[in-house]
Structure 1
Amino acid sequence: MSVLKTIFTWWNGATLGVLFTISRRGRFVGQDELGNRYYEARDDRDSYDRGRKRRWVIYKGYADASKVPPDWHGWLRYTYDEPPTEAPLRRQAWEKDHLPNLTGTIYARRPQGALARGGERQRAAGDYEAWSPE
């Protein structure tokens, strides 16, 4: 079944066509802590802008752009010339670790009063009270 997924689905990693193109045209640059693998073209032949080498990410598991950490995102979008394997970003003490977007998953935040938690919440001072005729 995984061979069929590789052939026909792009959301579970990469298709065979993409893997073939990257193996032929790209070179491995690095891997992040989530297991995503990053590649850069060997030359600018198939680039959108001459002088810039094309860059790719192969997601580990489900393809979701929010799974790309900020340092790799900056490299993919040409904000940084050097990949984080060569020139890592300096982390500030107040910065939190990167988390992918969990909306729509079982790990999504469901505050008190959310419909997924029953929709009951405590009354607040500014709550709306509907008008009712006498």
Structure 2
Amino acid sequence: MVSLIRTLRSLRRVGVREWWRQLQYIGDAKSGRFVGADQFGNRYFENLNPEEEVPGRHRWVDLAQHEYHASQVPPEWHSWISHIRKDPPTEDNVMKNLSPPWKAPWVENLTGTRGAFKTYNTAAPKINAWEPKVAPRGQ
């Protein structure tokens, strides 16, 4: 009964379209405070009402892509979702003033896709195939 009331409350708060999308993507109807978004379009939420959310499940991410995996969440947001940081990157003064050491935008892990990094070998092989040396025959 509590779960039905919570689901109906979320339906009323977020609307039918967002409620249905949440059921399809995360399997649960949630409503909470919008905390921020990252460069991928992922949206981050938090609900601190202890009557509605189970402790540890009160922070969540609404991923922008349907085919998703963990590397699509940037490190600063991952630390907030995992409760390593108390404040989200949009409200944390340290994160606001921090510039990344790599000076490049965060990209997801492309292992297993066509965009995966592949090296080529520049070292000489340790074992070489036998190549016979042909000497001219004496006539």
- TM-score, normalisation: structure 2: 0.61
What is the one-letter code of the residue matched to 1:38?
Answer: Y
Identify unmatched segments of 5+ residues in structure 1.
113-120
Are 1:41 and 2:27 counterparts? no
Give 3-state SS (helix, strand or coil) of 2:36's partner: strand
CA distance in 2, matches of 1:76, 1:67: 13
Q: CA RMSD in A?
A: 2.9
Aligned mate of 2:91, from 86, 95, 120? 86
Q: Which has the higher contact order (CA 8 A, sep 6+)?
A: 1
1:4-83 alignment, distance < 5 Å:
14-15=25-26, 17-18=27-28, 21-23=29-31, 26-45=32-51, 46-48=53-55, 54-61=58-65, 62-83=67-88
SS at 2:30's partner residue? Answer: helix
Q: 2:118 is matched with which residue? A: 110
Aligned residue identity for 2:124: A
- Tell me the SS of whatever aligns to 1:71: helix
Unaligned runs of 5+ in 2: 1-16, 130-139
Return the offset for 1:64. Answer: 1.1
**Using the alignment, how far apart are the partners of 1:70 and 1:57 within structure 2?**
13
Cα drift, residue 129 of structure 1: 5.5
Structure 2 counterpart of 1:76, one-letter code: I
What TM-score do you get using the length of structure 1 for normalisation? 0.63
2:35 aligned counterpart, secondary structure? strand
Shift in Å, 1:47? 2.3
Distance of 2:88 and 2:123 partners within structure 1: 51
State the percentage of identical aligned residues: 35
Tell me how far apart the structure 2 counterparts of residues 107 and 101 of structure 1 sit (CA, whole Å): 9
Residue of structure 2 in register with 1:124 after alignment = 124
